[in-house]
Amino acid sequence: MKVMIVGGGGREHAIAMSIAKSSKVEKIYCLPGNAGIEEVAECAPIGPMEFEKIRDFAKEKGIDLAVIGMDDPLVGGLTDVLEEAGIRTFGPRKNAAILEGSKAFSKDLMKKYHIPTAAYENFDNADEALAYLETANYPIVLKADGLALGKGVLICNSFEEAKEGVKEIMLDKKFGASGNTMVVEEFMTGREVSVLSFVDGKTVKTMTSAQDHKRAKDGDEGLNTGGMGTFSPSPFYTEEIAKYCEEYIFQPTVDAMRAEGREFKGIIFFGLMLTEDGPKVLEYNARFGDPEAQVVLPRMKTDIIDVMEACIDGTLDQVNLEFEDNAAVCVVLASDGYPVAYEKGIPITGFENFKGKDGYYCFHAGTKKTEDGTIVTNGGRVLGITAKGKDLKEARANAYKATEWISFANKYMRHDIGKAIDEA
């Protein structure tokens, strides 16, 4: 079968590598892809929001299955466009991707269906938001309603900070139309865990858990990023917690979407916080996490094509979803200055060190091949170095060892990915 992947980051590289392992797949295309994805897929320079070009490409190549990795095209309705053209597509339709696309929608859904989450109010008027914030308890969390590259969340310690936040989100529109509506949410504390799941409209099957590190600097300092590293599984996500989440969060979310006439097929990524009052939903995403996919997918034993097809066909209850009984850690190599300003086009060396090394992966996030064949940096997050181990400590040591195999002039990474493992 011929598969087309839409996206071009570390997540899509991990998806492409998983798909390439399937015996059913003869050819993979990736739009636009990157220098690493090129090793397993034919890449074409079509952007993720160029829906008509993507559809025409898929028709021309006779694509049997399209897999959409990124949030923007899903929220924008690429699945609907491809399905209308008769192309089987893995990823929720527009009316279901709203679960990620609108935080106000997802909060209202959770409230209506009694799914545990932080208390909140939605505002589409800045004056009303300010009046509310004047008498609120601090810290408090402000969230732009729509997609904002993971950056539309502000934690405010005082009314002064909140005023500044309202200005940024609702008045200055720092996150564009995403800030037309704003969610004001109770500040929660606890450990975070990412649970990704496959969903076929009615059945939900969770993957092994993971934990991200969103801040740019060691000790969870610095700005929020797309994610600086991950480990899987999370030792804090116990069987007991998993059971609670299945009963009160995962299945209820899938059932709620169906009840609303927004049947969800694809990936639901549950961003959870393990609070003193039990697990609560921080956010939903309608796709694999990045860099969660880079630690979860290398540990998946089941053929990913079988699972994706079962999601489309509504037969996920018949799939036995299995993961290896080991661990993985991913350390992101970024360009110094990310997530603010950084140089691009810097040559990267050392890729050959990964050749023939089982259990080690060099996922490309922001890379590009120049005309003379040199691979150069082309983004803030450049590479995701993943290693497996028999347990988390071994995986972490292996991943950090492998980060030394790669060199580029402004290479930056966090040195404390997986520090929480020591507290488990």
Judged by the rule CB under 6 A, the positions of this chain that interact with ligand AMP are 118, 141, 143, 150, 153, 185-188, 192, 214, 271, 282-283
Partner in contact with 185, chosen from ligand AMP, ligand GLY, none, beta carbon below 5 to 8 Å by kind: ligand AMP
Query: Which residues between 26 and 45 bind ligand GLY (CB under 6 A)?
Result: none
Q: Binding-site residue total for ligand GLY (CB under 6 A)?
A: 7
Half-sphere exposure of 301 (CA within 13 A, CB side): 8
Return the SS3 of 350. Answer: coil
Partner in contact with 285, chosen from ligand GLY, ligand AMP, none, beta carbon below 5 to 8 Å by kind: ligand GLY
Q: Does 72 bind ligand GLY (CB under 6 A)?
A: no
Cβ atoms of 112 and 84 within 8 Å: the answer is no
Q: Which of 64, 185, 200, 212 binds ligand GLY (CB under 6 A)?
A: 212
Q: Does 285 bind ligand GLY (CB under 6 A)?
A: yes
Give the sign of the dihedral formed by CA 360, CA 363, CA 364, CA 370. Answer: positive
Tokens (6 digits) for 33: 């892809």
Give the binding range for ligand GLY (CB under 6 A) out of 233-241, 257-265, 288-296, 338-346.
288-296
Tokens (6 digits) for 408: 């580029």
Residue type at position 409 = A
Least distance to ligand AMP from the beta carbon of 297, Å?
21
Least distance to ligand GLY from the beta carbon of 227, Å?
4
Partner in contact with 309, chosen from ligand AMP, ligand GLY, none, beta carbon below 5 to 8 Å by kind: none
Distance CA 260, CA 102 (A): 15
Of 6 and 25, the one with the shorter C-beta distance to ligand GLY is: 6
Residue 104 CA from chain centroid, whole number: 19
**Sheet of 27-32, strands arranged across:** 42-43, 27-32, 2-7, 65-68, 89-90
Least distance to ligand AMP from the beta carbon of 187, Å?
4
Distance CA 382, CA 409 (A): 12
Of 115 and 316, the one with the shorter C-beta distance to ligand AMP is: 115
Q: Which x/- pattern, by CB under 6 A, does the window 140-159 give for ligand GLY?
A: ----------x---------
Q: Does 227 bind ligand GLY (CB under 6 A)?
A: yes
Least distance to ligand GLY from the beta carbon of 332, Å?
10
> What DSSP letter does each residue of 186-217 carry, written as one string?
E---SEEEEEEEEEESS-EEE---BEE--EEE
Tokens (6 digits) for 163: 């005023």
Residue of 329, 321, 271, 320 lying closest to 298 (CA atoms): 329
Give the binding range for ligand GLY (CB under 6 A) out of 60-68, 137-145, 283-291, 343-351.
283-291
Give the binding range for ligand GLY (CB under 6 A) out of 72-80, 175-183, 286-294, 409-417.
286-294
Cβ atoms of 348 and 383 within 8 Å: the answer is yes
Cis bond before residue 32 (omega within 30° of 0): yes
Q: Find tokens 């940024």 and name the residue.
A: 168
Partner in contact with 141, chosen from ligand AMP, ligand GLY, none, beta carbon below 5 to 8 Å by kind: ligand AMP
**Contacts to ligand GLY by CB under 6 A:** 150, 212, 227, 285, 289-290, 292
